[in-house]
């Protein structure tokens, strides 16, 4: 992992400034003494990892992260070029995204096993399909990076290509083609559109996807929800959806996004809140992913 983007001290200061929390309130919420908060803020004492994690959760809950992300964007001139030119950074990010994106979908591969699979080495004790998932996702990332450019326009052919690579050798999943039947989801109560409506929904989605407006991050979050709500493929929707998010952000000059498997519950919860028209949590999730992605490339 690269440098720390936002220190615990800065998070605490911004909590007091932007949420209106007093030091006493912070101490009560974090279940520490006032003196402990004083030492963190004024004496440079670093919190224990468990306390640091709680500070981070509180920070993401109460502070709008879009400003943080915009500042990070200004520090990286051309993230596409950076990933293309620096093999070490590129491979580190690709490994992390491949491992985490597949793990979110239930892969049992460890990050070390994922790395071996990507390198073409033998992975003991894992099914062939698990190894293929890792190789395919890495290949999709490489296609993505070789194809996109600043202000790249996403179209249907591009989405199909991403899906065909992610689902390569999974012929029963119709690689590069929309689903022809119903898909049952367990993490939402919203009914998916019938298969015959998927092309119609996707045409409408793709017509708007390249129109960002002023708030790119919030638009990307909303687009991600819309894509997952359509669920255009039999399988691979989550992985392709996150690759589309990555494409959007890189093409608009933002650092790459990394959503980690340990945040899977929060990620699904944020998507579920979108069912109710609330996209704040998903936008925060996207911001958090950009911050984590940025830490891998700086």
Could you count the other beta carbons within 10 Å of the beta carbon of residue 13? 13
Q: Are 138 and 164 in contact (CB under 8 A)?
A: no
**Was domain 77-297 assigned CATH 1.10.260.40?**
no
Q: Hey, where are the domains in the chain? A: 1-63, 77-297
Average pLDDT for 130-157: 98
Average pLDDT for 51-68: 92
Instruction: Give the closest residue to 123 by CA, choosing from 93, 94, 99, 91.
Output: 99
Q: pTM (2 decimals)?
A: 0.92
pLDDT interval class at 164 (50, 70, 90): very high
SS3 245: helix
Confidence (pLDDT) at 187: 64
pLDDT one-digit tens code per residue, 178-209? 999 998 876 667 789 999 999 999 999 999 99
**What CA–CA distance (Å, rounded) separates 165 from 196?**
24
Q: Are 274 and 225 in contact (CB under 8 A)?
A: yes
Whether the predicted pLDDT of 268 surpasses 70? yes
Confidence (pLDDT) at 3: 55
Confidence (pLDDT) at 1: 44
Long-range contacts of 176-185 (CB under 8 A, 24+ apart): 177/233, 178/202, 178/232, 178/233, 179/231, 179/232, 179/233, 179/234, 180/234, 181/234, 183/231, 183/234, 185/231
CATH of 1-63, one of 3.30.70, 1.10.30, 1.10.260, 1.10.3470: 1.10.260
For every residue of 18-61, DSSP letters joined together read HS---HHHHHHHHTS-HHHHHHHHHS-PPPPHHHHHHHHHHHHH
Average pLDDT for 163-175: 97
**What CA–CA distance (Å, rounded) separates 82 from 2?**
15
Domains 1-63 and 77-297 belong to one CATH topology: no
Confidence (pLDDT) at 55: 95
């Amino acid at each position: 992992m690269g440098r720390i983007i936002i220190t615990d001290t800065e998070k605490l200061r911004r909590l007091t400034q932007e949420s209106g929390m007093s030091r006493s309130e912070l101490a009560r919420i974090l279940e520490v003494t006032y003196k402990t908060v004083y030492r963190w803020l004024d004496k440079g004492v670093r919190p224990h990892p468990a306390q640091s994690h709680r500070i981070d959760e509180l920070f993401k809950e109460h502070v709008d992260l879009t400003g943080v992300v915009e500042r990070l964007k200004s520090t990286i001139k051309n993230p596409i070029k950076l990933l293309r030119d620096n093999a070490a950074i590129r491979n580190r990010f690709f490994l992390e995204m491949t491992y985490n994106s597949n793990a979110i979908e239930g892969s049992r591969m460890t990050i070390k096993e994922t790395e071996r699979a990507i390198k073409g080495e033998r992975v003991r004790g894992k099914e062939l399909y698990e190894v293929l998932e890792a190789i395919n996702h890495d290949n999709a990332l490489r296609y993505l990076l070789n194809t996109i450019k600043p202000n790249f326009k996403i179209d249907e052919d591009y989405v199909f290509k991403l899906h065909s690579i992610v689902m390569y050798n999974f012929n029963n999943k119709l690689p590069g083609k929309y689903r022809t039947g119903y898909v049952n989801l367990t993490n939402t109560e919203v009914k998916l559109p019938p298969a015959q409506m998927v092309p119609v929904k996707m045409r409408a989605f793709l017509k708007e996807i390249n129109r960002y407006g002023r708030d790119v991050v919030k638009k990307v979050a909303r687009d991600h929800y819309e894509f997952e709500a359509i669920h255009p493929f039999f399988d691979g929707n989550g992985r392709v959806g996150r690759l589309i998010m990555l494409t959007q952000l890189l093409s608009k000059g933002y650092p790459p996004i990394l959503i980690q498997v340990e945040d899977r519950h929060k990620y699904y919860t944020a998507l579920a809140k979108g069912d109710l028209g609330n996209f704040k949590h998903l936008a925060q999730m996207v911001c958090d992913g950009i911050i984590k992605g940025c830490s891998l490339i700086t």
